[in-house]
Amino acid sequence: MTSLTREINAEDALQLLQKKMTTLVDVRAEIEFAKGALPYAQNIPILTTAERHQVGTCYKQKGQEAAIQLGHRLVAPFKTERVSAWAQHAGSDGVLVTCWRGGLRSQIACTWLSEVGVPSLRVRGGYKAMRNLLLGRLGNLPPFRILAGLTGSGKTELLHAIPRNTVDLEALAQHRGSTFGGMGPDHPQPAQASFENAVLFHLPRSGPVYIEDESAFIGSVSLPQEWVSHARIQDCIWLDSPLQDRVRRIWAEYVMLPLQKGVPREALLDHLIHRLVRLERRLGGARTQDLIANMNSAFNQPDHWQGHAWIGQLLAEYYDPRYHFAFERSRKKVVFQGDFQQCLQWIQSN
C-alpha cells in the first residue's frame, strides 16, 4: 500500500461512521451487499455480481493468479468510472473502503485511489470485522425502558419526543409492527443482517435506552434473541390513550397519509383488504367479511367518522385482546402509567 493509504481497525471505522464523519464505500458485489450491509454504506462494487461469478469460476478451475488477471481484464473498461465514484465519497481523511474481510478487493481499490491522488482508509478485517464487533455488543446491552401501550396509543410519537437515548426499531425495520405495518414497495424491509447491524450501530452504549414494546418479529425481520431476552426483564412505561384517539391516529397514518402521498384509493383499499384477509384464520370468516364490508364503506366516505368503524372493531376484537394477553404473559414491570404528557414528563424527570 502507498503512503496515501492507511489501515484502520473496525472499532475506529465504526466511530467515524457514528460521528457521521464519512461514508463507507463497500466494494463487495451487489449480491453480497444485499445480504448484509452497514448504515451509511454505499455499495460501489469493484466487481459486479456477474463479474465476481466469472472470477470465482476461474479461481476454481485455474487458480488465484488466473482469477486475478481475469478480474483486472473485466474491470479495465470501467476502472476510471468506478474509481471516480469511490472518490466522490472522500471524507477529511480520505475514502473509507471495505470489502468482505479487508482483503484483495479493498486493497486494490485503495491502490487505484492512490494512483489518482486520493487518500483512503482500508478497514482491517473488512465488513466481517465490523459486523462481529457490532454483534459483540449483544453481550453487554444497556438498561432499556420499554414504551408499552395498546395499538395506536402513540408509542412512536412518544419515542420521538424523547430527546436522546432512543432506538426506533420500527424505522430501522421499515415496518410499523402490525399486520398493516409494511411501509410499501418504496420502503422494502432490510435484510436480516442489515437490520441487526443497524439496531446495534444506533444503540447508545449506556442507558436507560428507550424503545417501543415489540415482538421478536417486526414484519419479516427479527430482533436478536439476546435482545429479546434482555427486553423481557426491563421496566415498562404504559401509555394510555382512549379508543377513539387510537382509531383517529390509525386512520390518519394508514389511510389518510398514503392518500395524501398520492397512493390511489383503490390500490390502498386492495392492500388493506389483502392484509386483513391474512388474519382470517384468527378472526373467523364471518368477522373478516364484516370488516371488509365496513372497510369498503369507509373508502366511499373517507372524511366521515362512520368510516372509521372497521378500525375500532379490529382494535377491540383482535389487537387489544392479543396485546393484553402477550403483555400479561411477559410479566413486565410497569414503573409508570399515564397519558402522553404524563409519560413524557415522567421520562424527563427520571
If asked whether residues 324 and 344 sit together in one domain, one would say yes
**Locate cell 368477522: which residue?**
287
If asked whether residues 179 and 319 sit together in one domain, one would say yes
If asked whether residues 181 and 305 sit together in one domain, one would say yes
Domain count, the chain: 2
Which residue, of 101, 134, 167, is where some domain finishes?
134
Strand partners, 217: 222
If asked whether residues 145 and 130 sit together in one domain, one would say no
If asked whether residues 178 and 276 sit together in one domain, one would say yes
Of 173, 144, 168, the closest CA to residue 158 belongs to 168
What is the domain-level CATH number for residue 329?
Answer: 3.40.50
If asked whether residues 146 and 127 sit together in one domain, one would say no
- The pLDDT value recorded for residue 92 is 87
d(CA 279, CA 285): 10
Q: How far is CA 47 from CA 74, 80, 111, in A?
A: 8, 13, 15
User: What's the domain range around 340?
Assistant: 141-349
If asked whether residues 22 and 76 sit together in one domain, one would say yes
**Locate cell 446491552: which residue?**
141
d(CA 300, CA 308): 11
If asked whether residues 108 and 236 sit together in one domain, one would say no
Which residue, of 86, 107, 134, is where some domain finishes?
134
C-alpha cell at 65: 493468479
Mapped onto helix, strand or coil, the DSSP state of residue 148 is strand
- The pLDDT value recorded for residue 306 is 54
d(CA 253, CA 109): 45
In terms of Cβ atoms closer than 10 Å to its own Cβ (0-12, 13-18, 19+), residue 78 is: middle
- The pLDDT value recorded for residue 176 is 80
- What is the full per-residue pLDDT of the chain (350 aa) written as tens digits? 447 999 999 999 999 999 988 899 999 999 999 999 999 999 999 999 999 999 999 999 999 999 999 999 999 999 999 999 999 999 888 999 999 999 999 999 999 999 999 999 999 999 999 999 999 999 999 999 999 999 999 999 999 999 999 999 999 999 886 666 554 545 789 999 999 999 999 999 998 999 999 999 999 999 999 999 999 999 999 999 999 999 999 988 888 888 888 989 889 889 889 988 988 888 899 999 999 988 888 887 755 555 578 899 999 999 999 999 999 888 889 999 999 999 999 999 99
If asked whether residues 88 and 54 sit together in one domain, one would say yes
Q: Catalytic residues, which ones?
A: 99
If asked whether residues 126 and 215 sit together in one domain, one would say no
If asked whether residues 33 and 126 sit together in one domain, one would say yes
Amino acid at 105: R
Amino acid at 76: A
**Locate cell 488466473: which residue?**
66
Beta-carbon count within 10 A of 171 CB? 16
Helices (H), 45-138: 49-62, 64-75, 79-87, 104-115, 126-136
Which residue, of 134, 166, 184, is where some domain finishes?
134
If asked whether residues 70 and 219 sit together in one domain, one would say no
d(CA 266, CA 151): 25
Write the DSSP string, 242-264.
-HHHHHHHHHIIIIIHHHHTT--
What is the domain-level CATH number for residue 113?
Answer: 3.40.250.10
- The pLDDT value recorded for residue 183 is 44
d(CA 215, CA 217): 5
